[in-house]
Amino acid sequence: MSTETETKTTLRLSGNPALSLRVEPNRLINTIHETAQFGAKFQWGSRSTDTGVCRLALSDEDKKVKDWFVKEVEELGCQVKIDDIGNIFALYPGQDNSAKPTGMGSHLDTQPTGGRYDGIYGVLSGLEVLRTLKENNYVPRFPIMLVNWMNEEGARFPMSIMASSVWAGLASKEDIYRMESVTDDKPVTVEHELLRIGYKGSIPSSYESIPLAAHFEIHIEQGPILENEEKKIGVVEGVQAYTWWKIHVKGKAQHTGTTPMNLRNDALLAASKMIVKANEISSKFGGLASVGIINSGPGVVNVIPDEVSFALDMRHVEDSKLEEMIQEFQNEFPKACKESGNKLKVEFEHLHTQKATHFDKTCIQCVEESALELYGSGNYRKITSGAGHDSCATNTRCPTSMIFIPSKDGVSHNPEEYSTPEQVDEGFKVLLSAVLKYDQLRTE
């Protein structure tokens, strides 16, 4: 990590230049609605803006929003760079253009049944920052880079946080070029689609060829915490660690009517106890857990199930605690078997573990001070992201942090994803302020 030197310079944060800038109310939400035309789908309410968005990575609709984005940032005087994995970098000049730019970014692609905010809000808030600087003739000390990261969702090409991971050197570009789409009747590769829509740039995707001094990302929470606690802003300190497992329970298929309770090996009963236990473990450790998928066979009303498998997702802010949670379920699940039948067996299949992300202290401080100055101490809270974001990738290569605004009912990956125009503007101001604070305290 190249961020240590900069991280140490967090102590003398200066004043808040953003507070003196004139901002244009509601322009950002209007821009969000404007770009939602590229893939608008799934009308859920009576207003024209009550739709979701289906804008899969590298689709025709994604090309349209990319074209629109490039045009917008060029009109603001940005220099646009496109790397060879389809990330778009818009460089807004500062006073010292020889230094690395301060980054802002997120993604414009969506889930198949996506909303108008996830990712989109981050890119368009960044655009609103640049528009605000331009209108106020505010020239930052260092350049600012707005990034649209390609395929964060991993919906069409099945790897989330795809192109920011390539930029960060965490994923093989060649492997990804060959990856095939999973949402097309006739699968196509990432490289094919990059070429088809004209977004395979010439610059090698890398934190070395297109470096960033920092990365700020604003996003909807996608959870109910801020709304539930009536907070305007979440100061995101990091992203939880998570681990995915497939649990296989094997019992014995027997007739419900002819098999006494004490002679059974009911795989679904054992699995049910495990599901209850997984929830108890997560509460005990202050983590999260759920079972999102369960399959049970043979699937006959009067036959005791002999084969049950389920997918377990467990999360914790701390890697070490997540390790303890894994240990605990591996100890407890065999006990659930033992007490349910003497022939029951459980097998653990590890699918994936993602370590916790801890964002940069200076970046977090810029966000927190901005929230404090704008809205007061009662209106924000520190929070850990439950979901992954492009900032998890950038955080491995430059100081990074995130800002959350409330999501109505915690809903996301759904057409009804919603934040109010006020919440949208409130978050944007924190981004503007945090980026300018960071610009001021940078020593490079």
372-388 burial, b at 16+ Cβ within 10 Å, e below that, comes to bbbbeeeebbebbbebb
Q: Which of 202, 258, 377, 443 binds a copy of itself (CB under 8 A)?
A: 258
- Per CB under 8 A, the segment of 3-11, 138-146, 191-199, 239-247 that binds a copy of itself is 239-247
Q: Does 247 bind a copy of itself (CB under 8 A)?
A: no
CA dist list (Å): 167 to 93, 109, 194, 203: 22, 17, 16, 11
Own/partner long-range contacts of 23-30 (Cβ < 8 Å, ≥24 apart): 23/132, 23/425, 23/428, 23/429, 23/432, 24/128, 24/131, 24/132, 24/135, 25/425, 26/421, 26/425, 27/128, 27/131, 28/124, 28/125, 28/128, 28/424, 28/425, 28/428, 29/421, 29/424, 29/425
The reply on whether position 387 binds a copy of itself by CB under 8 A is yes
CA distances from 11 to 110, 352, 359 (A): 38, 38, 17
Number of residues that this document lists for the chain:
444
In angstroms, give the least distance from the CB of 304 to a copy of itself: 5
If the CB atoms of residues 195 and 300 are measured against a copy of itself, the closer one turns out to be 300
Q: Is 224 in the site for a copy of itself (CB under 8 A)?
A: yes
- CB-nearer residue toward a copy of itself: 129 or 405: 405
Interface segment toward a copy of itself; rule CB under 8 A; list 12-20, 133-141, 286-294, 323-331 = 286-294
Stretch that binds a copy of itself, among 62-70, 102-110, 136-144, 296-304 (CB under 8 A): 296-304
Closest to a copy of itself by CB, 116 or 315: 315
Q: Which of 385, 391, 395, 400 binds a copy of itself (CB under 8 A)?
A: 385
Are the beta carbons of 177 and 117 closer than 8 angstroms? no
Q: Which of 269, 322, 356, 435 binds a copy of itself (CB under 8 A)?
A: 269
Residue by residue, DSSP assigns 215-243 as EEEEEE-SSSHHHHHT-SEEEEEEE-EEE
Task: Tell me the site size for a copy of itself, rule CB under 8 A.
Answer: 56
CB 53 within 8 A of CB 40: yes
Binders of a copy of itself in range 303-322 (CB under 8 A) = 303-305, 311, 313, 315
Q: How far is the CB of 359 from a copy of itself (least distance, A)?
A: 16
- For position 338 contacting a copy of itself by CB under 8 A, the verdict is no
Q: Environment class of residue 55 by beta-carbon count within 10 Å: exposed (0-12), middle (13-18) or buried (19+)? A: buried
Q: Are 399 and 3 in contact (CB under 8 A)?
A: yes
Q: Is 194 in the site for a copy of itself (CB under 8 A)?
A: no
Instruction: Give the up-direction half-sphere exposure of residue 28: CA atoms within 13 A in the CB hemisphere.
Output: 31
Quick one: which segment of 210-218, 280-288, 359-367, 432-440 binds a copy of itself (CB under 8 A)? 280-288
- Three-state secondary structure call for residue 143: coil
Q: Is 272 in a helix, a strand, or coil? A: helix
CB of 15 to a copy of itself, least distance (A): 34
Residue 251 structure tokens: 């019992």
Q: Does 111 bind a copy of itself (CB under 8 A)?
A: no
324 CB-near residues (< 8 Å, 6+ apart): 285
| C-beta of residue 95 within 8 angstroms of C-beta of residue 140 | yes
Q: Interface with a copy of itself by CB under 8 A: which range of 2-10, 262-270, 364-372, 392-400? A: 262-270
The 396-435 contact track toward a copy of itself, x by CB under 8 A, reads: --------------xxxx----------------------
Q: Does 230 bind a copy of itself (CB under 8 A)?
A: no
According to the binding rule CB under 8 A, does residue 182 interact with a copy of itself? no
Name the segment binding a copy of itself (CB under 8 A); options: 37-45, 271-279, 363-371, 430-438: 271-279
* Angle between helices 361-375 and 421-441 in degrees, nearest 10: 130
- The minimum distance between CB 310 and a copy of itself, in angstroms, equals 9
Contacting range for a copy of itself; rule: CB under 8 A; set: 23-31, 62-70, 200-208, 273-281: 273-281
395 binds a copy of itself (CB under 8 A): no
**Taking the complex as a whole, how short is the minimal distance between the CB of residue 188 and a copy of itself, in angstroms?**
24
159 binds a copy of itself (CB under 8 A): no
Q: Which residues bind a copy of itself (CB under 8 A)?
A: 221-225, 228, 240, 242, 244, 254-261, 263-264, 266, 268-269, 271-273, 275-276, 279, 282-283, 288-294, 296, 299-305, 311, 313, 315, 351, 385-387, 410-413
